[in-house]
């Protein structure tokens, strides 16, 4: 009897063939269970492999992008070539850069068979130094790095410098240089920054102090490869501002209406406070309302309705200062006895305003002295007599002085023999006419203090004998007055 052999398909992809044979149905169920188990096992293996591959890939990318983290330390030491400075001074800041490489910063080369020594190399790196200069970008002048000119990358407060690497001798291991353990190297570099102090000394990081400004300045740093430490460097510069001294003096203590007065204003610096020069110094003088501006000794003075501004330029501490003389006039309508007080202010770009003490002038009417003498003192009736009239300004400047001779009754003017002026000037000429009697005048005269006018005239005495009083008056337009008399005797 022949036996039919039924072959069940052992192919997970052809399970349908087994369903045609009932004898294989049971085996089909068993194979299906085995298939699912194998699929699950394969999935677990695939998941584990993918996880391990991911870890490997992340590590590889991290090594590629980050590399070894640098461990070096950088210290900045900042100094200035001036501990005190003046406006406009040049200051050189020196930033000493000290970099200390440690073991993690070094990599070693491969060692060949028989090689015992080798070099561990620390690679160069970029260092960014940020220094906000106390007097701003506009006052930046230049910079050098290790003696070579360098320029900031973005603005005048950022420098990108290259720090050199280092090489340290070590020993070879099995196949490569051993760069572990106590392994260090120090590299030093210098960045020099030149800047100008602002004219007034103030700026960022500057604190106002009694002598001027105290300016702190700090340099910071950062590295593109991540050093473990960056210690900033700070320096202090004291800016001292000059102290102005201003004086105002007048030529005369007294003046009369219409008089011209000279005021001298001197501006200097107080060397006991600061040796710094005053930058762009100037004077401002607001005149008393009883004064009119006439002119000055400087072409750099302007008048704006009684406010006088005079530019002086720079004033050094050793110059003794600078002076300006202002000429002013006492207004004609100023009353006698008035007091004129006037001071002046001085300022500079880098100094506080200083004010002088008052220069005081008292307005007084001129004091005039008038005398008249005649020869002979005793004269016969109708005879000639020669007289001299003298007018002197004892105090003040007498303006437009009118000299009037009050001739006694019966006396007749004949002529003027001479006119002598000692410092005085004749501003208007009116001569008497021969034969005039009564009051006779001789025009107008300006007689300064101590000035003199001498007039010599000839008269005919009266035909009537007697004792006479011949008076003379002098009046000025600015309040001066004087009177004198002569007492001729006619026999």
Q: How far apart are CA 184 and CA 102, in angstroms?
A: 5
List residues bridging with 236 in a β-sheet.
Answer: 216
pTM value surpassing 0.95: no
* pLDDT score, position 69: 57
Which pLDDT belongs to residue 26?
47
| Cis check: omega of the bond before 43, within 30 degrees of 0 | no
Residues 96, 76: contact at Cβ < 8 Å?
Answer: yes
Cβ atoms of 370 and 390 within 8 Å: the answer is yes
Q: What is 197-233 written as a DSSP string?
A: --TT---TTEEEETTEEEEEEEEEEEETT--SEEE-E
For 33-60, the pLDDT digits (tens) are 444 445 454 544 454 444 444 433 433 3
Instruction: Give the single-character DSSP code of 335.
Output: P
Query: CA 384, 388, 389: angle at the middle one, nearest 5?
Result: 130
Give the separation between CA 430 and CA 245, rounded to whole angstroms. 53
CATH fold for domain 244-363 = Immunoglobulin-like (2.60.40)
Compute φ and ψ for 193, nearest 5 degrees: -120, 130
| Dist CA 301 CA 297 (whole Å) | 8
Which pLDDT does position 252 carry in this prediction? 80
pLDDT of residue 178: 87
**Predicted pLDDT at 227:** 64
Region of 146 (left: φ > 0; alpha: ψ -120 to 50; beta: rest) is: left
Cα distance between residue 102 and residue 228, in whole Å: 11
Return the pLDDT at 414. Answer: 96
Q: Work out the number of other CB atoms within 10 angstroms of the CB of residue 386.
A: 15
Let me know if domain 367-490 sits in CATH 2.30.30.90.
no
Q: What stretches in the chain show pLDDT beneath 70?
A: 1-70, 153-156, 225-228
Query: What homologous superfamily does CATH list for 73-240?
Result: ntegrin, alpha v. Chain A, domain 3 (2.60.40.1510)
* Contacts (Cβ under 8 Å, ≥6 apart) of 186: 98, 99, 100, 101, 166
């Amino acid at each position: 009897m022949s036996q039919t052999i039924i072959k069940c398909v052992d192919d997970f992809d052809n399970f349908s063939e087994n369903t045609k044979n009932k004898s294989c149905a049971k085996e089909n169920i068993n194979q299906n269970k085995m298939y699912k188990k194998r699929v699950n096992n394969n999935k677990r293996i695939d998941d584990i492999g993918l996880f391990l591959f991911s870890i490997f890939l992340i590590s590889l990318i991290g090594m590629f992008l980050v590399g070894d983290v640098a461990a070096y330390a950088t210290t900045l030491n900042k100094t200035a070539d001036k501990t005190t400075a003046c406006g406009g001074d040049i200051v050189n800041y020196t930033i000493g850069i000290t970099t200390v490489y440690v073991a993690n910063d070094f990599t070693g080369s491969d060692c060949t068979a028989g090689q015992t020594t080798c070099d561990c190399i620390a690679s160069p790196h970029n260092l960014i130094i940020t220094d906000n200069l106390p007097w701003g970008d506009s006052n930046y002048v230049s910079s050098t790095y290790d003696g070579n000119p360098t320029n900031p990358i973005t603005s005048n407060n950022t420098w990108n410098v290259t720090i050199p690497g280092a090489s340290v001798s070590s020993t070879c291991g099995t196949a490569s240089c051993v760069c572990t353990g106590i392994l260090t190297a120090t590299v030093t570099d210098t960045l020099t920054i030149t800047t100008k102090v602002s004219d007034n000394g103030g700026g960022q990081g500057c604190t106002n102090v009694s002598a001027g400004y105290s300016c702190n300045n700090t340099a910071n740093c950062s590295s593109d490869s991540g050093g473990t430490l960056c210690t900033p460097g700070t320096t202090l510069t004291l800016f001292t501002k000059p102290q102005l001294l201003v004086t105002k003096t007048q030529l005369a203590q007294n003046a009369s209406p219409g008089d011209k007065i000279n005021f001298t204003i001197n501006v200097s610096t107080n060397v006991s406070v600061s040796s710094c020069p005053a930058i762009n110094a100037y004077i401002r003088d607001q005149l008393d309302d009883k004064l009119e501006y006439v002119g000055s000794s400087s072409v750099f003075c302007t008048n704006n309705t009684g406010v006088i501004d005079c530019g002086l330029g720079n004033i050094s501490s050793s110059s003794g200062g600078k002076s300006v003389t202002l000429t002013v006039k006492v207004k004609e309508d100023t009353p006698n006895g008035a007091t004129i007080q006037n001071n002046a202010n001085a300022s500079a770009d880098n100094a506080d305003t200083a004010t002088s003490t008052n220069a005081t002038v008292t307005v007084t009417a001129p004091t005039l002295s008038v005398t008249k003498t005649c020869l002979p003192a005793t004269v016969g009736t109708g005879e000639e007599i020669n007289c001299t009239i003298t007018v002197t300004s004892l105090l003040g400047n007498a303006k437009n002085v009118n000299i009037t001779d009050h001739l006694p009754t019966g006396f007749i003017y004949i002529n003027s023999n001479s006119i002598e002026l000692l410092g005085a000037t004749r501003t208007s000429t009116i001569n008497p006419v021969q034969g005039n009697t009564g009051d006779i005048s001789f025009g107008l005269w300006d007689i300064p203090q101590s000035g003199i006018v001498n007039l010599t005239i000839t008269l005919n005495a009266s035909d009537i004998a007697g004792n006479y009083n011949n008076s003379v008056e002098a009046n000025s337009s600015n309040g001066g007055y004087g009177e004198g008399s002569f007492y001729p005797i006619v026999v």
